[in-house]
Amino acid sequence: MAATLHQIVYISRATAPLSDDAAAALCRAAAERNRGAGITGLLLHDGARFIQAIEGDEAALRALMARITRDPRHHAIGFVSDSPVAARQFGDWGMDYRRVDDIPAAADFLTTVKRALAGVDDPGLLAAFIGFAVIGRGERRRGFVPR
């Protein structure tokens, strides 16, 4: 019997500020590990918080989430969703990474985020990522960095 495709979406806070270089290095390492485990997904970072969707075999996702919850760089992990899915939303991305501040103009930024989500057809997933990006960007533009 084939393994059921599963998806977990969570939001977490970094225990300390994470530089762009550190976040990118974290994502590169995760992408390499995820490819080997058959996990795909997307990670958005707003400087202090993350939203991440991971999808693949449920056992592999549970093992990954166990590592994430033990990782001292994360705290306040909240689950947006945790359920079986009919199809992958993130194609063959081992892990795609986007920073909330990558694009300076708000209209260009929203277009860029939507482009990154082009293969996603789940309205709830789209709303979670776009909402996180827009709220995080607005907070950073006003000088507020979530703790």
> In angstroms, how far is the first alpha carbon of the chain from the final one?
44
pLDDT above 90 covers what percent of the chain?
26
Q: What is the pLDDT of residue 61?
A: 96
Which pair of structure tokens corresponds to residue 92? 């063959």
- Which positions ≥6 away from 88 have C-beta within 8 Å? 5, 40, 55
pLDDT tens-digit profile of 121-136? Answer: 888 888 898 888 777 6
**pLDDT in 10s for each residue of the chain, 147 residues:** 456 899 999 999 888 877 777 777 887 888 888 888 999 888 877 777 888 899 999 999 999 999 999 988 888 999 999 999 998 888 766 565 555 555 454 555 667 777 778 888 888 888 898 888 777 655 544 444 444
- Which positions ≥6 away from 75 have C-beta within 8 Å? 12, 13, 15
